[in-house]
Amino acid sequence: MLIRIVTMDFEPEDLDRFHRQFQKSREKILSFDGCYSVTLLRDIHDSSVLTTYSTWRDEASLNAYRNSEYFGATWRAVKVLFRSPARARSYYEVES
């Protein structure tokens, strides 16, 4: 299983807009082959920092989503809200 963590820093006035976009997109993301879960997290010390935590069957599944027209359109819509560039990392689960 692959875990994808993307941390995003927003202007406070843009948080609601991003949250609405996430709520609208979550089910569509989950419908992509190989996507097991998508969770939105808020930093406990800085409410302007949000992180998505998603689990995927493998890197090919994640890349199929990232190369989709849907991702391209959604990413363009939300990245203009970022206060600084998003930070993304992928991990393979070793033990649980």
| Dihedral sign for Cα atoms in the order 42, 51, 15, 68 | negative
Rounded CA-CA distance 78/21 in Å is: 8
pLDDT at 93 over 90: no
Rounded CA-CA distance 96/91 in Å is: 13
| Tens digits of residue pLDDT in 23-65 | 999 999 999 999 999 999 999 999 999 999 999 999 999 999 9
pLDDT at residue 33, rounded to an integer? 98
Q: Is 55:16 a contact under the CB 8 Å cutoff?
A: no
pLDDT at 96 over 90: no
- Local structure of residue 14 (DSSP, 8 states): G
User: Which one of 3.40.50.150, 3.30.70.100, 3.30.70.360, 3.10.20.340 gives the CATH number of domain 2-92?
Assistant: 3.30.70.100
Sorted by where each begins, the domain ranges of the chain are 2-92
